[in-house]
Amino acid sequence: ALKAVVFDLDGVITDTAHLHFLAWRSVAQEIGIRFDEAFNEELKGISRMDSLQRILRHGGKEGVFNDKQCLALAGKKNDLYVQSLASLTQASLLPGIREVLAEIRAANVKIGLASVSLNAPAILHALAIHTAFEFCADASRIVYSKPDPEIFLAACAGLNVRPEEAIGIEDAAAGVEAINAAGMLSVGIGPGLGHAGLQLHSTRELSWKCLSDFWSSRS
Ligand code: B16
Ligand code: MG
Cβ-in-10-Å burial (0-12, 13-18, 19+) of 3 comes to middle
Tens of pLDDT, residue by residue over 118-136, are 999 999 999 999 999 999 9
Query: 51 C-alpha to center of ligand 1: Å?
Result: 9
Confirm if 73 and 27 have CB atoms less than 8 A apart.
Answer: yes
Give nearest CA residue, ligand 1 atom 1.
117
Q: Which residues are catalytic?
A: 8, 10
Listed as ranges, residues in the chain with pLDDT below 70 are 219
Ligand 1 — pocket residues by CB below 6 A? Answer: 8-11, 20, 43-48, 51, 78, 115-119, 172
What does the pLDDT read at residue 125? 93
Ligand 1 atom nearest the C-alpha of 151 is 19
Report the complex ipTM: 0.93
Tens of pLDDT, residue by residue over 161-193, are 999 999 999 999 999 999 999 999 999 999 999
What does the pLDDT read at residue 145? 87
What does the pLDDT read at residue 45? 85
What does the pLDDT read at residue 219? 66
Give nearest CA residue, ligand 1 atom 3.
45
Give yes or no for a cis peptide into 147 (omega within 30° of 0). yes
Query: 127 C-alpha to center of ligand 2: Å?
Result: 16
Could you list which residues have their CB under 5 Å from ion ligand 2? 8, 10-11, 171-172
What does the pLDDT read at residue 218? 85
Query: 219 C-alpha to center of ligand 1: Å?
Result: 31
Query: 18 C-alpha to center of ligand 1: Å?
Result: 11
What is the 3 state secondary structure string of 65-107?
A: CCHHHHHHHHHHHHHHHHHHHHHCCHHHECCCHHHHHHHHHHC
